């Protein structure tokens, strides 16, 4: 299961949770790879066969040892009528807008307790450990607000373009939605994602190490169409300022290059209107650029000839370098990857075959290759990339692994279409130091103990 | 807006609804393209300018006439502080699993009243008129059940493969989710989609004409991996039977060719676990094949040497031909397209520029081209296809249109990678007659009246 509700999980499993290092809310994720005790016994017996098959080089043969042989006759579960197979079920449109199964209630976005003083200027992390493929369900998209989220009335919303333009204009949502639309799938990552790992905090799960990351199909009008409509001065206008309409009036300077390239003024997100916490009814989409620049509840874009250096651009989203200086406007999210399953807080309850799966992305283009190591970076194998592999978009990778029960360190290393190779921690901190908050794209390591416990471990 | 809540829509707009031909629940969709009366006055005045720009051949210039010129100074909306820009908003994770804006409450899947005797053996149609891009939000995926939907406990669920195999096996969800996974985006369409149009019922909206259609990123294990794991007899085993675990125990015969090609046993749907009404925790995915074969709550696959001819394969999902015979096992969903915006039940409240948008798909491959006609099929223009264009997947198309206010008939015509051209009604009914229920892939026509009313119209 992607994640299990604690109350629904058999007690026997939860007793296996390494309670020493995870908080109560995280325990549920641990059982992801669990098989019940009966099956574990079977797997133990069949492991020699699996190992032999591995030696023969066939993953399918390797996992064959794990499958419930002759279960068709032996498994009482298949012979007894299930409660749900003898009833008249619920009608169509029971939920006019559907919701997940009650058994998935534990898969939710979560605040990190104590991370921020107030929950309105805070973060809710996406549960990457339970995700499949590349699309982030809208209900589980990560959140980062500066003064809380608002549900803006689209009838009342206005969007203005002004500054160095021939004619300043104000658009209604209806105006915008009549214009030529495009749809593109892109990742969005907060510049502070993986920020707690700079100081080697080793937060327990991938939800907290990498969960300020999501990926959606966005629909909107290319920003260049609107700039053209207003007659933007492209000779002297080198930057735009994007401004949001929540209480924080967040502003971000964006280069005209990015604005004219693939930026869009978007209303659609995975086929429907944006969610309120993601900027409904209008947000800026700046593919490859850190999330803060994807200004939500977008009310204004101003064209200018130099960066504005507004508060959010000078005091935050800047990189503290080893010499104590702050590096500014490093907005591109560099090539990065992470194994999401198995990952910290989960537990492997048996040896044998596993599909190791993760995500890779680059703000500079497409993912070209992902390598995975099971021994802390000594040996690497190339993973399978799920298609389509898209520009500035998450790419899902999968790789076969037969765990022999010995301690292992799992890592993934992405390479993008520019040839950039995701750095080791030692490589990154040599240049950037360890006191930064933003733009950490180092290789993540997950330690698998002989007990099957998976934990966050720092490897240089 | 994609769709507006009736209670939230200004009264002035709803009075414009053509109440003579739409039922109450549909009126809300009508305002999609509406601009308020003040703006309409402006647009009326500026239309000559827009028309002149159109003549110059530039869509952007054409729409420039529509934008709110000098609104930056003139529009009081942009000068007054908005209620939501002066408050402390809601905290992160306010909804641990998010929900749409309250302003989108009207966008929902809907039953067609009277279509079926009971709501458990029925259909809920997806609101295509409010969709963007190609991804269907999980909460709005269409529903088709034969005995209602059930929320199956994944811990209790078992999946069996038996029949002509070396060794029958039973898998738990944990067993399956350890296997090599793949993720693919595919459309799913009910074989009965557009079924009411055979008899020229001309149901009022695209939700009811084409709404048994959705498109998701599915994650699961390729069926061929499982068939290999069980040692399926591929020499004599020419078919599989898939069986569901709800009260109806729905069964479908599927060719071994499809089973070994790209079919998968799936648990993931747009990044999360399947929704209960879509088969949680396990369903069959058979790309390109009609939805009934994507058996939900999948409990068994049996390998055999001939079709089973079970009830659902003989009494339903068969094509009634003009000679009174029933054609069986026509399961591939042929090349098809539909304009979703503007579409029946909507209303254009002003002349000028519109982004005309729709969906195209083919069960036999990729979409190669979509042409759009604004005059009932006399002249055709090629639309822009949004990327990526994927195999057996929805493709979003967009095309510029400046409506001059005269009556128009909008049509789209898709061509797939096999060269198949979506037929006109006259072409299709010549072969198939008009008494069928299934597999209607004819060109859909939307009539735009001089008043701006858009309605379903039958054009041969």
**How far lies A239's CA from each of A190, A235, A248, A316, in Å?**
21, 11, 21, 19
Q: Which of the residue ranges A238-247, B11-20, B346-355 would you say has the lowest mean pLDDT? A: B11-20
**How far lies A161's CA from each of A13, B46, B312, in Å?**
57, 20, 58
pLDDT at position A55 over 90: no
Residue A49 lies in a domain: no
Closest CA to A6 of A22, A28, A24: A28
Q: What DSSP state is assigned to residue A289?
A: B
A303: closest CA of chain B, how far (Å): 14
- Give the burial class of B11: count Cβ atoms within 10 A of its Cβ; 0-12 exposed, 13-18 middle, 19 or more buried: exposed
**Distance separating alpha carbons of residues B277 and B268, to the nearest angstrom:** 13
Q: Which of A309, A327, A345 lies at the terminal end of a domain, its last residue? A: A327
Cross-chain Cβ contact A71/B168 below 8 Å: yes
What integer is the mean pLDDT of A43-61? 35
Q: Which of A101, A131, A353 is facing B276, going by the closest CB pair? A: A101
B250: closest CA of chain A, how far (Å): 11
Q: Which of the residue ranges A200-204, A286-290, A390-394, B288-292 would you say has the lowest mean pLDDT? A: A200-204
In the A/B pair of chains, how many CB contacts fall below 8 A? 471
Q: Which of the residue ranges B24-38, B111-125, B133-147, B192-206 would you say has the lowest mean pLDDT? A: B24-38
Q: Which of the residue ranges A138-147, B3-12, B137-146 would you say has the lowest mean pLDDT? A: B3-12
* Whether B299 and B377 share a structural domain: no
> When comparing pLDDT for A359 and A35, which is higher?
A359
Residue A445 lies in a domain: yes
**Distance separating alpha carbons of residues B153 and B276, to the nearest angstrom:** 10
CATH number of the domain that A200 lies in?
A: 3.90.420.10
Q: What DSSP state is assigned to residue A324?
A: S
Residue A162 lies in a domain: yes
pLDDT confidence of residue B43: 29
- Of the pLDDT bands very low, low, confident and very high (cuts 50, 70, 90), residue B330 is confident
Neighbours of B110 (CB within 10 A): 19
- What mean pLDDT, rounded, does chain A reach? 85
- Joined together, the tokens standing for residue B142 give 């269409």
Q: Are B179 and B264 in contact (CB under 8 A)?
A: no
* Whether B138 and B274 share a structural domain: yes
**Distance separating alpha carbons of residues A160 and B78, to the nearest angstrom:** 8
Q: Which of A2, A82, A281 is facing B156, going by the closest CB pair? A: A82
Q: How many CA atoms lie within 13 A of A95 on its CB side?
A: 17
Contacts of B249 in chain A (CB under 8 A): 85
- What's the pLDDT tens digit per position in A64-114? 444 444 444 545 556 567 888 888 999 999 999 999 999 999 999 999 888
Neighbours of B199 (CB within 10 A): 12
**Distance separating alpha carbons of residues B258 and B236, to the nearest angstrom:** 15
Cross-chain Cβ contact B245/A82 below 8 Å: yes
Best residue in B142, B145, B180 for a mutation probing chain A (most A CBs within 10 Å): B180
Number of domains in chain B: 3
- Among all chains, which residue has been given the structure tokens 């901190």? A429
Residue B429 lies in a domain: yes
pLDDT at position A29 over 90: no
Name the 3-class secondary structure at A19. Answer: coil
Name the 3-class secondary structure at A267. Answer: strand
**Distance separating alpha carbons of residues B146 and B121, to the nearest angstrom:** 4
Q: Which of B288, B308, B327 lies at the terminal end of a domain, its last residue? A: B327
Name the 3-class secondary structure at A420. Answer: coil
Could you tell me the maximum CA-CA distance found in chain B, to the nearest angstrom?
78
- Joined together, the tokens standing for residue B409 give 């008939």
Share above pLDDT 70 across residues of chain A, in percent, rounded to a whole number: 83
A356: closest CA of chain B, how far (Å): 8
* Whether A296 and A436 share a structural domain: no
Give the length of chain A.
460
- What's the pLDDT tens digit per position in B232-277? 999 999 999 999 999 988 999 999 999 999 999 999 999 999 999 9
Residue of A nearest to B125 (CA): A93
* Whether B211 and B274 share a structural domain: yes
Give the structural domain span for B423: 336-457
Q: How many CA atoms lie within 13 A of B214 on its CB side?
A: 26
* Whether A381 and A283 share a structural domain: no
pLDDT confidence of residue B175: 94
Cross-chain Cβ contact A148/B88 below 8 Å: yes
Residue of B nearest to A387 (CA): B184
Query: What is the rounded end-to-end Cα distance, in angstroms, of chain B?
Result: 32
Q: Are B354 and B401 in contact (CB under 8 A)?
A: yes
What integer is the mean pLDDT of B99-104? 98
Contacts of B67 (CB under 8 A, 6+ apart): A169, A171, A175, A229
- Of the pLDDT bands very low, low, confident and very high (cuts 50, 70, 90), residue B25 is very low
- Give the burial class of B81: count Cβ atoms within 10 A of its Cβ; 0-12 exposed, 13-18 middle, 19 or more buried: exposed
Neighbours of B7 (CB within 10 A): 9
* Whether A254 and A278 share a structural domain: yes
Name the 3-class secondary structure at A219. Answer: strand
**Reported ipTM:** 0.88
**How far lies A314's CA from each of A245, A311, A414, B47, B334, in Å?**
20, 5, 30, 46, 56
**Distance separating alpha carbons of residues B150 and B137, to the nearest angstrom:** 20
pLDDT confidence of residue A79: 58
Q: Are A266 and A183 in contact (CB under 8 A)?
A: no
Q: What is the 3-state secondary structure (H, E, C) of chain B?
A: CCCCCHHHCCHHHHCCCCCCCCCHHHHHHHCCECCCHHHHHHHHHHHHHHHHHHHCCCHHHHHHCCCEECHHHHCHHHHCCCHHHCCCCECCCCCCCCCCCHHHCCCCCEECCCCCCCCCCCEEECCHHHCCCCCCCHHHCCEECCCCECCCCCCCCCEEEEECECCCEEECHHHHHCCCCEEEEEEEECCCCCHHHCCCCCCCCHHHHHCCEEEEEEEEEEHHHHHHHCCECCCCCCEEEEEECCCCCCEEEEEHHHHHHCCEEEEEECCEECCHHHCCCCEEECCCECHHHCCCCEEEEEEECCCCCCHHHHCCCCEECCCCCEECCCCECCCEEEEEECCCCCEECCCEEEEEEEEEECCCCCEEEEEEECECCCCCEECEECCCCCCCCCEEEEEEEEECCCCEEEEEEEEECCCCECCCHHHHHHHHCCCCCCCCCCCCEEEECCCCEEEEECCC
Q: Which of A280, A297, A327 lies at the terminal end of a domain, its last residue? A: A327
CATH number of the domain that B448 lies in?
A: 2.60.40.650
**Distance separating alpha carbons of residues A320 and A326, to the nearest angstrom:** 5
Specify the DSSP element, H or E, that contains A265: strand A264-269
* Whether A296 and A377 share a structural domain: no
* Whether B360 and B437 share a structural domain: yes
Residue B414 lies in a domain: yes
Q: What are phi and psi of B44, to 5 degrees?
A: -60, -45
Q: What are phi and psi of A77, to 5 degrees?
A: -60, -35
Cross-chain Cβ contact A167/B69 below 8 Å: yes
* Whether A220 and A143 share a structural domain: yes
* Whether A162 and A143 share a structural domain: yes
**What is the bridge-based pairing of β-strands A381-382 and A445-448?**
unpaired
pLDDT confidence of residue B77: 55
Best residue in B118, B132, B229, B366 for a mutation probing chain A (most A CBs within 10 Å): B132
**Distance separating alpha carbons of residues A317 and A149, to the nearest angstrom:** 20
Q: Which of A77, A158, A271 is facing B133, going by the closest CB pair? A: A271
**What is the bridge-based pairing of β-strands A384-385 and A395-403?**
antiparallel
**Distance separating alpha carbons of residues B117 and B123, to the nearest angstrom:** 11
Q: Are A80 and B237 in contact (CB under 8 A)?
A: no
**Distance separating alpha carbons of residues B78 and B72, to the nearest angstrom:** 7
- Of the pLDDT bands very low, low, confident and very high (cuts 50, 70, 90), residue A185 is very high
Residue B1 lies in a domain: no
Contacts of B98 in chain A (CB under 8 A): 109, 138-141, 275, 277
Q: Which of A93, A104, A357 is facing B124, going by the closest CB pair? A: A93
* Whether A192 and A315 share a structural domain: yes
∠ CA B108-A177-B194, nearest 5°, is: 45
Residue A105 lies in a domain: no
Contacts of A452 (CB under 8 A, 6+ apart): A347, A348, A349, A350
**Distance separating alpha carbons of residues A156 and A189, to the nearest angstrom:** 29
Name the 3-class secondary structure at A66. Answer: coil
Contacts of A72 in chain B (CB under 8 A): 160, 162, 168-170
Residue A179 lies in a domain: yes
Cross-chain Cβ contact A124/B64 below 8 Å: no
Q: What DSSP state is assigned to residue A34?
A: -
Q: Which of the residue ranges B65-74, B121-130, B384-393 would you say has the lowest mean pLDDT? A: B65-74
* Whether B264 and B131 share a structural domain: yes
pLDDT at position B176 over 80: yes
**Distance separating alpha carbons of residues B217 and A315, to the nearest angstrom:** 40
Best residue in A70, A162, A178 for a mutation probing chain B (most B CBs within 10 Å): A178
Q: Are B124 and B109 in contact (CB under 8 A)?
A: yes
């Amino acid at each position: 299961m992607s994640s299990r509700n604690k109350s629904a999980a058999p007690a026997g499993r939860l007793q296996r949770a390494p309670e020493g290092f995870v908080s109560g809310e995280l325990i549920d994720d641990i059982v992801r790879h669990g098989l019940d005790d009966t099956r574990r016994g079977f797997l133990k017996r069949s492991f020699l066969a699996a190992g032999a098959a591995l030696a023969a080089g066939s993953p399918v043969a390797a996992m064959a040892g794990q499958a419930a042989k002759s279960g068709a006759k032996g498994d009482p579960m298949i012979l007894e009528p299930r409660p749900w197979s003898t009833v008249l079920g619920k009608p169509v449109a029971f939920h006019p807008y559907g919701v997940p199964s009650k058994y998935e209630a534990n898969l939710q976005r979560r605040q990190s307790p104590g991370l921020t003083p107030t929950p309105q200027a805070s973060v809710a992390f996406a549960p990457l450990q339970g995700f499949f493929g590349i699309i982030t369900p809208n209900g589980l998209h990560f959140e980062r607000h500066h003064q809380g989220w608002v549900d803006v009335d689209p009838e009342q919303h206005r969007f203005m373009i002004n500054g160095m333009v021939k004619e300043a204009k104000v658009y209604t949502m209806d105006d915008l939605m009549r214009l030529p639309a495009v749809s593109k799938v892109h990742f969005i990552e907060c510049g502070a994602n993986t920020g707690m790992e700079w100081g080697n905090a080793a937060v327990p799960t991938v939800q907290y190490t990498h969960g300020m990351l999501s990926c959606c199909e966005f629909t909107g009008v290319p920003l260049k169409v609107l700039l053209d409509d207003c007659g933007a001065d492209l000779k002297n206008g080198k930057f735009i300022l994007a401004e949001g309409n929540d209480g924080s009036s967040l502003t971000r300077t964006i280069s005209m290059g990015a604005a004219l390239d693939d930026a869009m003024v978007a209303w659609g997100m995975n086929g429907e209107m944006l969610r309120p916490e993601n900027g409904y009814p209008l947000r800026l989409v700046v593919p490859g650029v850190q999330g803060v620049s994807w200004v939500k509840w977008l009310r204004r874009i101003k064209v200018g000839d130099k960066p504005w250096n507004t508060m959010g651009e000078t005091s935050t989203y800047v990189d503290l370098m080893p010499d104590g200086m702050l590096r500014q406007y490093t907005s591109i999210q560099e090539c990065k990857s992470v194994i999401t399953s198995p990952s910290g807080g989960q537990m492997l309850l048996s040896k044998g075959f596993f599909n190791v799966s993760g995500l890779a992305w680059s703000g500079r283009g497409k993912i070209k290759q992902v390598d995975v190591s099971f021994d802390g970076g000594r040996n690497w194998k190339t993973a399978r990339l799920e298609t389509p592999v898209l520009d500035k978009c998450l790419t899902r990778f999968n790789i076969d692994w037969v765990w022999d029960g010995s301690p292992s360190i799992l890592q993934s290393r992405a390479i993008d279409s520019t040839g950039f190779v995701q750095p080791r921690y030692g490589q990154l901190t040599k240049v950037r130091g360890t006191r930064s908050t933003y733009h950490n794209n180092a290789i993540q390591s997950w330690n698998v103990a002989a007990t099957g416990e998976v934990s966050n471990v720092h490897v240089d």
